[in-house]
Chains A and B, each alone.
Chain A
Amino acid sequence: MKYATEFRDPKAAKAVLARIAELADEIGATRAKPVHIMEICGGHTHAIFRYGLDKLVHDGIEFIHGPGCPVCVLPMSRVDECVEIALRPGVIFTTFGDAMRVPGTKMSLMQAKAAGADIRMVYSPLDALELARRNPDRQVVFFGLGFETTTPSTALSIQQAAREGLENFSVFCNHITVPEPIRALLDDPHMVLDGFVGPGHVSMVIGTHPYDFIARDYGKPIVVAGFEPLDLLQSVLMVLIQIRDGRAEVENQYARVVPEHGNPVSLAAIADVYEKRPSFEWRGLGEIDHSGLRIRAKYRAYDAEETFGIGYAAGPRFVAEPEGCACGQVMTGRIKPTACTQFGSGCTPEMPLGALMVSSEGACAAYWQYGGARATEATE
């Protein structure tokens, strides 16, 4: 952990913050004309609030919280389908913990568990595989969820199940990819973005080149960042330097972890197991072409959509978001969480209306939990 504390050194942070302020002034960033920097990843959103970075940086810098929390962007219809699978007799439904509270139309997985579904929290798809081995008379379904960070481990579990000839294991695949929604956001004429802080964990797998289009086609700087507070601040500084210099490049702040070309073993597993869906629905963003992954035909036996005749295998099913829910607008940076009419009244962590309030990495939950709104009201 000494390794981590070095990235939390207050003295070093002060120095970087001073540089950020200098550059922001030089660029002419003010509250009236702020520099909008989108942190794509929910892990970054969480870190920004956990360390109070949003209040420490220069006034003229505004963080826009991107769509990078996989739990938050999961459409309600997919949650409903999880519940449907989980409630079937003989099924053990396995999921990562933070998907448990995401509201579906009728219930969340947490509520389905209370209603009698056998739902188990796991820490890795390999735990789900082990459950399948130990329960040969039950169908064990793993809720495959997440960006490129978690996609390889799901792929490996499917490859392993195939090698063992396990017949009672399948994956409800909801894996999604980072570059496509970013392209969709950049194509949106209402978006005002000056630069990006890129998701470090995703890039451990895919490297930095998948973001080339951001700099090349849209002329925006992007810096792939680590998750410690100093990583984030340094990345913001690197974005500002690019803006000042009139450059737009993909830079790698997280080079201690992120290889330029990604991880070949993970990439091979991904290519072997998945193919792109023609399109996939995102909560708040709608259908985005080629933004989701499905399991290839050769692994069909492990595809829960096929096994249960559900999801895209059963035809598209659109579920409207709850009325008043502005998750989509928050996720595209059009409004701050506090500007949502439901924030703190109709939508709280106790009674979440939308997904951004559910996951600890969601922008609204971070605002609420760390007092982005309330702390400001109380002190300023």
Chain B
Amino acid sequence: MNIPTRTRLRDTHVTLSHGGGGRAMRDLIDEVFASAFRPDAMEDQARLSDAALAEPGARLAMTTDGFVVTPLEFPGGDIGKLAICGTVNDLAVGGARPLWLSAAFIIEEGTEIALLRRIAATMAAEAEAAGVRIVTGDTKVVGRGAADGVFVTTTGVGVIPPGRDLAATHIRPGDVAIVNGVLGDHGATILAARGDLALSTDIRSDCQALGHLMEAVIAAASGTRAARDATRGGLAAALNEMAETAGVGVEIEEEALPLRDEVKGLCEILGLDPLYLANEGTLVLFVPEAEAEAALAAMRDRPEGRGAVIVGRATADHPGQVRMRTVFGGARIVDMLVGEQLPRIC
């Protein structure tokens, strides 16, 4: 991170004047965000090079997402890392190579500037690792109580190479469902980090960018049908959405689901189901059976995919439904969640 040596920003906390459009705002943007992101020009609009679009048949992809999380910093990441990974992953699972991002900040009056610097530094490092550039942004300051610390909105633009077409509608009965690693770590981390539970755990968020992993999978298994980033609603929501779109059934094996003992334990105590816990670096893929081994091998070659396993497959039966064979050999429907999971009382 590149912080100018002669700093003009002497405040320790954000005040409304940092959002007023004057010198104070300029200083905040320069010294906290621009110095970390180093965009090509300090203008409101980024002018993107067209080299990436030069190939005939290449398509643009665009996505946007707002990020709110309590606490702003947690084991394994912070809101900035979430904002970069979330948007990069949305592009990646659509088959796009993520290239450019915008970042808009809504900052509550009173927020520590040191915290903003840490968030900006994480974002810069994460963007660089993911191979994307933060090319434009926006900063607004709102009064105390009008926001919860910091909200971040990122928009991402990427390019889908010619001939690549991932879509849930391509999923066929017999295709296998693969995930890249353990489930529920992010959701469990946030629950524990909120401090409402007198529980200490070593769980860290799985927050990570999946662009490189997706490229590796597609290179090894060109027939890859569709991918999703299993975020809110967990694996259950991602699979339900894909089953419904594709008009196929999905059957998963409880025994195959990669879950940490700590996550299982936390869920047991609180009466939650890990299938519905949020993830921030979990890829769900459908691949033709013939290419499954190649996809798995390519994934396991990368750190983001080391724990890749087959969790189930698409079926012609019960279209639109996700079912799980329990460790007991029983079967149950894994439905979409209604609202959020609420811890039970005993």
Residues on A facing B (Cβ under 8 Å): 1, 4, 8, 10, 13-14, 43, 46, 49-53, 55-56, 70-71, 96-101, 110, 121-124, 127, 145-147, 149-150, 201, 229, 349-350, 359-361, 368-371, 374-375, 378-379
Q: CB-CB < 8 A to B328: which residues of A?
A: 8, 10, 13, 51-53, 56, 229
Complex contacts, B344 vs chain A, CB 8 Å:
96-98, 359-361
Residues of B14-64 contacting chain A, CB below 8 A = none
* Contact across chains for A375 and B323 when beta carbons are under 8 A apart: yes
Q: Is the CB of A51 within 8 A of B343?
A: no
Question: Max chain A CB contacts within 10 Å: which of B198, B321, B338, B339?
Answer: B338
Given A10-B327, A51-B326; A43-B332 close (CB under 8 Å): no
CB distance from A114 to the nearest CB of B (A): 12
New contact pairs (7) apart from A52-B326, A96-B344, A97-B343, CB-CB < 8 Å: A10-B327, A50-B332, A51-B330, A110-B339, A146-B346, A371-B321, A374-B333
Q: Does B335 contact A (CB under 8 A)?
A: yes
Cα A56 to Cα B264 in complex, Å, equals 24
A52 engages B331 (CB within 8 Å): yes
In the complex, which residues of chain B have a beta carbon less than 8 angstroms from the beta carbon of A349? 338
A361 to B344, CA, bound (A): 8
The answer to whether A127 touches B335 (Cβ under 8 A) is: no
B239 CB to closest chain A CB, in angstroms? 14
Residues in B neighbouring A145, C-beta threshold 8 A = 345
Complex CA gap A55/B344 in Å reads 25
Hey, which chain A residues are within 8 Å of B327, CB to CB? 8, 10, 51
Instruction: Please report the C-alpha to C-alpha distance between residue A329 and residue B196 in the assembled complex, in whole angstroms.
Output: 38
A161 to B317, CA, bound (A): 58
Q: Does B261 contact A (CB under 8 A)?
A: yes
A68–B39 CA distance with the chains assembled, in angstroms: 60
- A53 with B335: CB separation less than 8 A: no
CB distance from A70 to the nearest CB of B (A): 7
Q: A52-B332, A360-B271 are in contact. Are A1 and B346 (CB under 8 A)?
A: no
Least Cβ–Cβ distance between A251 and chain B, in angstroms: 22
Residue of A nearest to B199 (CB): A123
Q: Are B339 and A101 in contact (CB under 8 A)?
A: yes
Report chain A residues within 8 Å CB of B331.
Answer: 52, 55, 375
**Given contacts A145-B345, A378-B318, A55 and B338 within 8 Å (CB-CB):** no
CA distance A121 to B191 in the complex (A): 12
Out of A49, A123, A370, name the residue touching B196 (CB < 8 Å): A123
A202: nearest chain-B partner, CB-CB: B346
Residues of A close to B163: CB separation below 8 A: none
Q: Are the CB atoms of A147 and B318 closer together than 8 Å?
A: no
In angstroms, Cα B198 to Cα A43, docked, is 22
Name the residue on B nearest A350 (C-beta): B338
Per-position 1/0 for B308-346, Cβ under 8 A of A: 000000000110010100111111110100110011111
Complex Cα spacing A332 to B70, Å: 43
The 6 closest A-B pairs by CB, nearest first: A52-B330, A371-B333, A97-B342, A96-B345, A349-B338, A370-B332
**When chains A and B are docked, how far (Å) is the Cα of A13 from the Cα of B331?**
15
